[in-house]
Amino acid sequence: MKQTISRFIYHRLLGWEAKVSVPDFKKCIFCAAPHTTNWDLFIGKLFIHAIGRKSGFLMKREWFFFPLGCLFRRMGGIPVHRDKHMSMVDQLINQVKKNKEFHLAITPEGTRSANPDWKKGFYYIALGADIPIVLVGIDYQQKCITAEKYIYPSGNIEEDMREIKLYFKDFKGKHPERFDIGIR
């Protein structure tokens, strides 16, 4: 039922397309970019449900106030406490290892503003848990979300991050001026 409703809203009402050729992994990190607007969360959740998959997401804890906190948790949201000195990466690696299935969407920019210095936590989670990173491109100009590439982290973060960033270079966020892969 959720998939049918999501497909109707995503495809029919909003007019978006989905291009997906990656396997439906039991465990993976979805690396989604560009992230230039709060609407990315809702478009992304509709996309993931429309294609019949599931995913949680990380969001700064300040958004988890009543009543939004209840909604975000129900949607799969995990609050991030940035001020605490604890390793979210280690906690998530443990969650991956404990569960039969694990799917988490992360926006590597860590902000909706242009940031060439992408966060690398998603990479270290995938590396530590030995799971793939599915690259999910959001393109508002084409009204299409694409998931046609995945990588297993090699441990060579510079090389892998360059490959990941270059994959996203042609996708246009809602506000393209707010997206920067940091590679010229």
Residue 69 located in a structural domain: yes
- In a domain, residue 102? The reply is yes
The residue among 98, 101, 121 whose CA lies nearest residue 109 is: 121
Query: What is the structure's pLDDT at 127?
Result: 97
**Domain membership flag for residue 183:** no
Residue 107 placed within a domain: yes
pLDDT digits (tens, 9 = 90+) for 166-179: 999 999 999 999 99
**Which stretches within 62-156 are classed as H helix?**
68-74, 88-98, 121-129
Q: Read off the pLDDT of residues 72-98 as tens digits, 9 standing for 90 and up.
A: 666 656 666 565 555 778 888 888 998
Contact 60, 78 (CB under 8 A): no
Supply the range of the domain harboring residue 41: 2-171
Quick one: which of 33, 23, 18 has its CA closest to 106? 33
Mean predicted confidence (pLDDT) in 154-170: 96
Tokens linked to 89 = 């990466």
Q: Classify residue 184 by burial, with Cβ atoms within 10 Å: 0-12, 13-18, 19+.
A: exposed
d(CA 133, CA 176): 23
- The residue whose two tokens read 């906190």 is 69
- pTM exceeding 0.95: no
Whether 154 maps to a domain, the answer reads: yes
